[in-house]
Structure 1
Amino acid sequence: MTASAVRAELPAIGDELLREQAEYWQETLADAPEPLELTADRPRPAQPDPTGAIVRLELDEELAAALEALGMRHSSHISTVLLAGWAAVLGRLSGQTDLVIGCSGNALPVRVDLSGSPTAAELLGRVEARVRGALRNQDLAFQRVVELVQPDGAASATPLFRAAFVWRDAPASDPELPGLEPGAVAASERCSTGGLDLSLELGEENGGVAGQVVFATALFDRETVERYAGYLRRMLAGMAADETRPVDRLTLVSDEERRLVVEEWNRTETPYPADSY
């Protein structure tokens, strides 16, 4: 089915509300970027592998309070601040300035614009607007959204997104990430990714914010995702400390990692055998 045929079919979707929501998603996700493609430890397998594992992530009370205060200054919930920080990290890792992230338990696609080197405050405003728009138009089933945006059936080969973010409003024993079986994360470090590369699940816990990153073991080593979790902590800390600074200039690497890259990997005095050509 062509895109024009889908548009002609819009009245058959249902009432006026669903028609308006269908038009919203078509406009918002028009010319959507290629799905997130991070530099992984292994090539993407020819056949999808849903095997996943988790990396625990905790933000202490001080940082959580600073992030909540940042959100309040911009009429945003802390979850929106966390999503903005996650998007900024994913953008830095992928080199993309336009990306789609699946949000909440029903996988609402949220398109994030990182172009123009936005400050933390500017990025938060962009993400807040997108989140509000997605929530206002969440009655349309996700599969219907996919059909409208990818009418040629390319979704099976090219998903709308490969990364997700879920906020838990209250502590829960079972994660809400799509594809995860009840109790999977709590019972074992092995779980299903639901076909995603990376999923961040966070919620309030013991006065701070805590959760986990679920990652595809076919693509990433645990050490890589632990490093990504550290990047997110530093991104969020930088956003909370100075909301006027562009997020693409915030430091992500730790002092130890920087020392490794700058000093160890760039040593030129190391002798090499003369016959090592």
Structure 2
Amino acid sequence: NMPMVCRLTGNWVPQALEKGWNQLIERHESLRTVFHEVNGHPVQQIQPYAFRSLPQMDLTKLSPEEQEREVKQWIQTEVEAPFDLEQGPLFRGQIVKISEEEWILLCNMHHIISDGWSMEILLQEWMAFYEEAVGGKSTELAPLPVQYADFAQWQREWLKEEVLNQQLAYWKEELSGELPVLMLPMDRPRPAIQTHHGLTHTVLLSRSLLDKLNELSRQEGVTLFMTLLASYQSFLARYTGQSDILVGSPIANRNYREVEGLIGFFVNTLVYRADLSGAPAFQELLSQVRKKALKAYEYQDVPFEKIVEVIQPERSTSHSPIFQTMFTLQNTRQELPEFHGRSIKAMESYASIAKFDLSLSAAEVEEGLLLSFVYKTDLFDSGTIKCMADHFENWLNVIVEHPDKSLAKLPMLSELEQQQLEEWNDTAITYPRESVIYKLFEEQ
């Protein structure tokens, strides 16, 4: 599920929101798409447009405390409610009235018809339609040149045998040999069949640290994504003692202008494999990651599930194939529309779901670098992840100060932890000369 929750303040008109909602549904076929099974394969079926109401809930009679409790429970329930892929709709929305000038707007889509890029399109166009409804001002949105089904058909025709084999050849070589399972220090053994119960731990790192990371990226001729990915891979290597680190990461995969304005599932997953044997310096690792990333971008078109099908890694019900951790950098800030006398502000909404053992998401915000650690509660306690997040912050601070030093020699612990560790390891005892043990040594 892909939820988006916003707080609306000011003079909002629910009927205009509902009208804009329907204009979106009419404009984008993805929002009218369901999936049926035909001869064992899922097939898109686009339903004709029909008016759909935008449900409303009124909480104005509740106390502020009751409202907060009710809204939190409502968001949690809605975010985790499943979709029926055959019956649809795969796009739900609702507004909650808190007061005369405060509303909560929630829309939720199944990932099969959407991605992160799509969410920004949805909000921008919805608000444009809203302005048209309340002010009579034309949205001036150009007709969509293609729809998602057109892209899907084109992709199938383009990824014919010759192109597909060329794309797959790179991934076969890159993912050859044994693919190690990431052995993070867990609080409990892996269950025989993995579940996806999860929680999220967030931490905000300082603006000064983000500035240093950006400066290091410029010096080394890499993007912030590459710097953070290399930081995460080297951190995982230190945490696990493994030198072969595989991390998955999404890529927008919108390489053609015609699809830039479409709502749909375009995002693909790339695998980044880092070799940390030989204790390289961070600068050396960064050079390696840069080359791997550029190659991965070059061969980004083949769907990840096709790679899994061809690589045929050893499958297990206890963990995901090829990689067990994901890294994401949200480097496109969602620009919320600005209105006169009204405002819209995004709200956090976390589902208690973890798709991988551990996922790290980073985002540049005004205050600094926002990190979100999504983890499986079957494997980790909250205290373990909090400690891991603290260590990662320490690791980033050390890396930006000593990018030319061997990663094996860089400390990951805080100064207090290092001091505590030294105290624990200081086990030398001075025995009195008259002790029996000391006399035995003297006699020998």
Q: Secondary structure at the match of 1:46?
A: coil
Corresponding residue of 2:239: 93
Corresponding residue of 1:55: 201
Q: Select which of 74, 78, 98 maps to 2:224.
A: 78
Structure 2 residue ranges without an equivalent (≥5): 1-158, 252-267, 336-346, 430-444
Corresponding residue of 1:252: 412
Q: Does 1:242 align with 2:366?
A: no
- Take 1:125 and 1:20, find their aligned partners in 2: how far apart are those partners? 25
Q: How many residues align?
A: 244
Q: Secondary structure at the match of 1:104?
A: strand
Structure 1 residues 97 and 215: CA distance shift in structure 2, 3 A: same
The amino acid that maps onto 2:270 is L
Corresponding residue of 1:227: 387
Q: Select which of 351, 361, 366 maps to 1:206.
A: 366
* Farther off after superposition, 220-229 or 104-113: 104-113
Q: Does 1:169 align with 2:331?
A: yes
Across the aligned residues of Structure 1 and Structure 2, the Cα RMSD in angstroms comes to 2.4
1:150-161 to 2 correspondence within 5 Å?
150=312, 154=315, 159-161=321-323
The amino acid that maps onto 1:48 is Q
Maintained 8 Å contact 1:118/1:247 = yes
Maintained 8 Å contact 1:88/1:248 = no
1:1-277 to 2 correspondence within 5 Å?
14-104=160-250, 106-150=268-312, 154=315, 159-171=321-333, 186-188=348-350, 191-194=352-355, 196-264=356-424
Return the index of the structure with the highest Cα Rg: 2
Q: Secondary structure at the match of 1:234?
A: helix
Structure 1 residue ranges without an equivalent (≥5): 1-12, 174-184, 270-277
Offset of residue 186 of structure 1: 2.3
- Take 2:318 and 2:386, find their aligned partners in 1: how far apart are those partners? 28
Q: Which structure ranks higher in relative contact order (CA pairs < 8 Å, sequence separation ≥ 6)?
A: 1
Offset of residue 247 of structure 1: 1.5
The structure richer in strand per residue is: 2
- Take 2:292 and 2:278, find their aligned partners in 1: how far apart are those partners? 17
Offset of residue 193 of structure 1: 0.9
TM-score (norm 2): 0.51
Q: Show CA shifts across 1:123-169 (max 9, x none).
A: 10111111111111110010110111116x63656610111100112
Offset of residue 24 of structure 1: 0.2
Q: Secondary structure at the match of 1:124?
A: helix
Offset of residue 267 of structure 1: 6.1
Q: Secondary structure at the match of 1:37?
A: coil
Structure 1 residues 21 and 156: CA distance shift in structure 2, 3 A: farther
Structure 1 residues 110 and 155: CA distance shift in structure 2, 3 A: farther
Offset of residue 268 of structure 1: 8.1
TM-score (norm 1): 0.81
